[in-house]
Amino acid sequence: MMTSDSYITFENVRFSRGKNRIFDGVNIAIPRGKITAIMGPSGTGKTTLLRLIGGQIKPDSGTVRVDGLDVGRASSKSLLAMRRRLGMLFQNGALFTDLTAAENVAFPLREHSRLPEPMIQRMVTLKLQAVGLLEAAGHMPAALSGGMARRVALARALALDPELMLYDEPFTGQDPINVGVLLRLIASLNQALGLTSVLVSHDVTEALSIADYVVVLNQARIVASGSPDALRAQMSGNTFLRQFLEGAPDDDHSELGQRSARNFAEALGLLPRPDRAATASRRREVR
């Protein structure tokens, strides 16, 4: 799906960390103005993918383009210019712990604009209002709940009116109410502000409910991609996809897997231990 409507493209990207291959010739096209969910089990390099997009790390080979800019080879000046147009919501919020919620939201404005203080205050108020946390403006991050901290971080990420929003596991560790709030915020902000959003998550139901396009990663490769409906249609012919989307347990038919399952069942007392069973049968024979 490499079209001119793609905001981000990964072209044959390879990336390793030590001996561990994270991406092995990955091709992804993230459409402009849509919500794209990058999904996969833990440890498949979803966060690494966001860092590649932000230019914090460079691919070993291949090209990552963000709005036409080759971020792996870009000068630091053009990289900084690109980052000013993106916002990122980190998994734990990454709020500055020595600043209040309002100061956190004001941080990028103070760093990148010469706006007068009353104007900055007004913009901070608007951003905090957008995430429904105006009353928490004066709170320090330590005084905020996990969900509130993530919403303050979202307001901070939106402070510079970005074109691209990156969300790193936004639903992890959140209660159902907060998940609902975040889902509504991500979807409505994307629509209202015309953003391109990349959402990295392993929360299948939540991510599929708001995503326009989904990419599923496993073992350094793309396993499936397409709209949520297209993905569901692919499920029957793709064992991993079915297992991942339905949250089914491993069906390990290998000898090692079977032995491990047997040992586990024996340890739990669900199966008689072979040594005890043999002793019992010998006793029976003696009698």
Partner 1 sequence: MNGHRNAFLDGLALLGQAAMAAAAHSGQMVLFTGHLLWRLLPAWTRPRLIVQELYAIGVLSLVIILISGGFVGLVLGLQGYNILSKFNATESLGVMVALSLVRELGPVVTALLFAGRAGSAVTAEIALMKTTEQLSAMEMMAVDPLRRVVAPRFWGAVFSMPLLAGLFSLVGIAGGYFIGVVVLGVDPASYWGQIQQQMQPVDDVLNGVIKSLVFGAVIGLIAVFEGFNAEPTSLGISRATTRTVVLSSLSVLGLDFILTAWMFGA
Binding to partner 1 (CB under 8 A) within 176-205 occurs at none
User: Residue 101 is inside which H or E element, if any?
Assistant: helix 101-112
Determine if 161 is a binding residue for partner 1 (CB under 8 A).
no
Determine if 124 is a binding residue for partner 1 (CB under 8 A).
no
Single residue of 63, 91, 125, 243 touching partner 1 by CB under 8 A: 91
At 212 the three-state DSSP class reads: coil
Residue located via tokens 């339905």: 246
Single residue of 42, 97, 236, 254 touching partner 1 by CB under 8 A: 97
Phi, psi of 144 (to 5 degrees): -95, 150
Which is closer to partner 1, CB of 142 or CB of 177? 142
Determine if 140 is a binding residue for partner 1 (CB under 8 A).
no
Q: Are strands 213-218 and 35-39 parallel, antiparallel or unpaired?
A: parallel
State the DSSP code for 126: H
Single residue of 46, 65, 83, 127 touching partner 1 by CB under 8 A: 83
At 29 the three-state DSSP class reads: strand
Which is closer to partner 1, CB of 173 or CB of 274? 173
From 183, 224, 235, select the one nearest 206 (Cα to Cα): 183
Give Cα 74 distance to the centre of its chain: 24
Single residue of 17, 73, 84, 184 touching partner 1 by CB under 8 A: 84
Report the interface residues with partner 1, using CB under 8 A: 54, 56, 80-81, 83-84, 86, 88, 90-92, 94-97, 107-108, 111-112, 160, 166
